Amino acid sequence: MSEIRNAAELISNSVHAIALTGAGISTDSGIPDFRSPDGLFAKYGYDITDIEAFRKSPYDFFKLASRLISKLENTKPNAGHKALAELEKMGKLEAVITQNIDNLHQKAGNKRVLELHGTYLSASCMNCRRKYSFEDVKELMKGFLPLCQSCFGIVKPDVIFFGETLPPHVFEEAELLAGSSDLIIVAGSSLEVFPASEIPSMTKRNDGKIILVNATPTVLDGEADIVCRGNTSEVLKRIVTLARKR
């Protein structure tokens, strides 16, 4: 596949490369994405991550979340995550900007991970903002609803729901990185979620290149320099193996 060879060459020639990842990079670890036919939207509807729906009926979310959280805890990174960690070790990847909340890039060994949509590993009271660790959350979730020990507000995992704003400092850091990088590897994202979807164009405006790895077409295909249509685990592993030999 000439795209794989060309992608490895772009990586070898780059000085400031970053990656932007989405739910598709984690499906091979057993975590469903949102928009695939067997994804979370098809199974549970759009409301599962909508902040207004959550406010109306938090119990519906926590019924699902208690199952997902114990699954997430035991999930392992796959070859796609490991390939990006390897690139960082080789000194060829400055950071991973991720829309995922699953902690799998960190488990694979990446040191600089910008979590645009937060993490399931901590939680905050929606009323008084008291912070809770993951161990606390697991304990609180044994009840009907996780309630704050200070004010009895609802304790919500620190993941960004649709309708909420992104943590500003994280997005600003991502913008700075994307605007000063000469290459961005976009893997496993439909690029339908704003503002993460804007990040690759920031690199393009810096005269940077885009490598896109995804199973299905995206709105960025026309703008990308290289499109690798396929499975993120297989494609990223092959690209990094070739890049290492160069």
Given 81, 117, 209, 238, the residue binding ligand NAD (CB under 6 A): 117
Strand 183-187 to strand 226-229: parallel, antiparallel, or no bridges (unpaired)? unpaired
Hey, what are 79's tokens? Answer: 């070859």
H-run or E-run covering 168: helix 168-179
Of 50-58, 143-151, 166-174, 189-197, which segment contacts ligand NAD by CB under 6 A? 189-197
Residue from 214, 220, 237, 243 binding ligand NAD (CB under 6 A)? 214
Q: Does 200 bind ligand NAD (CB under 6 A)?
A: no
Q: Kindly tell me which of 14 and 99 has the beta carbon lying closer to ligand NAD.
A: 99
Q: φ, ψ for residue 224 (rounded to 5)?
A: -75, 150
169 is an active site residue: no
Report the alpha-carbon distance of residue 201 to residue 57 in Å, rounded: 37
Could you say whether residue 215 binds ligand NAD (CB under 6 A)? yes
Q: Catalytic residue among 16, 81, 105, 117, which?
A: 117
Contact flag: residue 170 with ligand NAD (CB under 6 A):
no
Instruction: Indicate which single residue of 14, 26, 110, 119 sits in contact with ligand NAD (rule: CB under 6 A).
Output: 26
Question: Under rule CB under 6 A, which residues in 79-108 are in contact with ligand NAD?
Answer: 99-102
The set of residues, in sequence order, having a beta carbon less than 8 Å from that of 54 and lying 6+ positions away, is: 61, 156, 161
**H helical segments located in 26-149:** 40-44, 51-56, 58-73, 79-89, 104-108, 134-140
Please, what is the minimum distance in Å from the beta carbon of residue 180 to ligand NAD? 23
What positions carry a catalytic annotation? 117
